[in-house]
Structure 1
Amino acid sequence: MPAASSPSRRPHSGNRRDESARLAVLHAADDLLVENGFGSLTVEAIARRAGVAKQTIYRWWPSKVEILLDTLIEDSDKRIPVPAEKPTAASIRRYLRGFARFVTRDPAGKVLLALIAEAQHDADTATSFHKRYLGPRRAREREMLTRAIEAGEVAPRLGADATMDALVGPIVYCALTGSSLPRGLVDTLVDDLLRPGTD
C-alpha cells in the first residue's frame, strides 16, 4: 500500500438482494483465487460458486480483475487500515507489521500478490490497479508519513513515496517469491528508514 481520496468503487444497485449477491461474488472470487490461482479463475467459476448468473456479474464488473480489485479494497480497508488519526512511530510500525502479516499469512493478501503479478504483463490490469487501489492507498500512506514527520515522530532520509517503497518493497518481494520474512525485518526497516524517536 491518507486523508485523501477514498478508493473508487463501482456503482451497484442498492437493494438488499443485490448487495447480498455482490458480497457472494466477492467472497467467491477471493476463495477461488486462493484455491486455484489467478490463471484458473474465470467469471463462470465465480458465478457458479456465488450462485448468481454470469450476466449479473458482467452487469457490475467488466472482468475478473475488477472483481478482485473490489475484494482487495474491502479486505485491505478492514484488515490493514492506514492510520489516520495522529500517526506515531509506533502506529506506523504496527501498520507495517499488519501489512507483512496480510501478504504472507492472510489468504486475502494473495489477491494483492496476484494483481501485482498480473500487472507486470497486462497494461489494463496495471492501470486499474494503480488507479483504484495503489494510488488511493499510497495517498493515505503519504499523508500518514507527512503528519508523523510534522509531529516529530519520524525523520526519514527519503521522500514519502520513496520511503514507503523502501519499507514495503522487501516485504512484498519475500511474499511474491515465497520466502519467509526474516525475523526483525520490519523493525530494522522502520529504524533505518524512518529514524523514529522513542516509541
Structure 2
Amino acid sequence: MSPHKAPDSSRRSDRSRRAICDAALSLVGEVGYARTTIEGIAARAGVGKQTIYRWWPSKAAVLMEAFVDMGARAAEAAEADGTAGGGEHGIPDTGDLAADLGLVLRATVDELNDPAIEAPTRALTAEGVIDPALGAQFVENLLEPQLQLYVTRLRAAQEAGQVRADIDPRIALELLIAPLTHRWLLRTLPLTHEYADQVVDLALRGLLVQP
C-alpha cells in the first residue's frame, strides 16, 4: 500500500489512535523529529506501520494530530478539575488588561519551555516552512484559534474604552506574540516571565487610551 494514500479515518480505533499519537509525541521529545520514523512510532504504539499509513499520509500528519489531541486532552482535564483559566473566551477578562495579558503570556512562556510541548512545536514549525500544505494546517488548527483569543480580549478592551479605537486587534496582538516567538525560535536569550511582563508593558504603551 502506498504511504501517501488518503487516510481512512472511519476505520480508526480510538485506543490505537491515541497510542500512536502518544508514541509520536514521546519519540519526538526523546530523539527529535528528524530521527522519528513511522516504524519507530508503530513499534512504540504496538501497531503495524501499515496501520499508520492507512490513517495518516506522513509522520508530520501524525504529529499534527497528536499535538492537537494533546491540547484537547489538556483542556478537558483542566475543565474537569476546575483549573481551566480564561473563562468563556480563553483569556481572562477581569477588567485589568495588563494583568490578564501578563497571565496568559506567562503561561505561554511555561508552555514553550516545557520539553513535551517545545519539541513537537519546533518540529511542526520547521516542517510547515518546507511543506506549505502542512504549514497552512498548522496555522488553521493550532495557531489561529489561539490568536483569535487575543482578538476577542482586545476588542473587549476597546469596547470598554481602554484600548484606542483606531487599533486593529489582529495587528496589535502581534506586538505581544511576535517577541516571544522570535526569542523562542532563535534561542537568542532565555524566555522568562519577566520578559513576558516587559513585552506586555511596552505593547500596552502604544495600545491603551492615554489619560
User: Shorter-chain TM-score category?
Assistant: 0.7 to 0.9
Which has a greater percent of helix?
A: 2
**Is the counterpart of residue 190 in structure 1 residue 185 in structure 2?**
no
Number of residues of Structure 1 aligned to a counterpart in Structure 2: 186
8 Å Cα contact 1:30/1:68 also seen in 2: yes
Deviation at 1:117, TM superposition (A): 1.8
Q: Which has the higher contact order (CA 8 A, sep 6+)?
A: 1
Look at both structures and tell me which one has the larger radius of gyration over its CA atoms: 2
Task: Give the alignment's TM-score, normalised by structure 2.
Answer: 0.73
- Pairs within 5 Å for 1:1-199: 12-13=9-10, 18-77=13-72, 78=74, 83=86, 84=89, 87-88=93-94, 89=97, 90-152=99-161, 154=163, 158-178=167-187, 179-182=189-192, 184-195=194-205
Percent identity over the alignment?
30
Deviation above 6 Å: which 4+ runs of structure 1? 79-82
Q: Which consecutive unaligned segments of at least 5 residues does structure 2 have?
A: 1-6, 79-83
Q: Which consecutive unaligned segments of at least 5 residues does structure 1 have?
A: 1-9
Structure 1 window deviating more from structure 2 (75-84 vs 181-190): it is 75-84
- Rate the CA distance shift 1:106–1:50 in 2: closer, same or farther, 3 A: same
8 Å Cα contact 1:13/1:19 also seen in 2: no
Give the secondary-structure state (helix, strand or coil) at the position aligned to 1:41: coil
- Rate the CA distance shift 1:57–1:180 in 2: closer, same or farther, 3 A: same
Root-mean-square deviation (Å): 3.1
Give the secondary-structure state (helix, strand or coil) at the position aligned to 1:139: helix
Structure 1 window deviating more from structure 2 (171-180 vs 76-85): it is 76-85
Structure 1 window deviating more from structure 2 (71-80 vs 166-175): it is 71-80
- Rate the CA distance shift 1:75–1:163 in 2: closer, same or farther, 3 A: farther
- Separation (CA, whole Å) in 1 of partners of 2:196 and 2:165: 15
8 Å Cα contact 2:27/2:36 also seen in 1: yes
- Rate the CA distance shift 1:47–1:167 in 2: closer, same or farther, 3 A: same
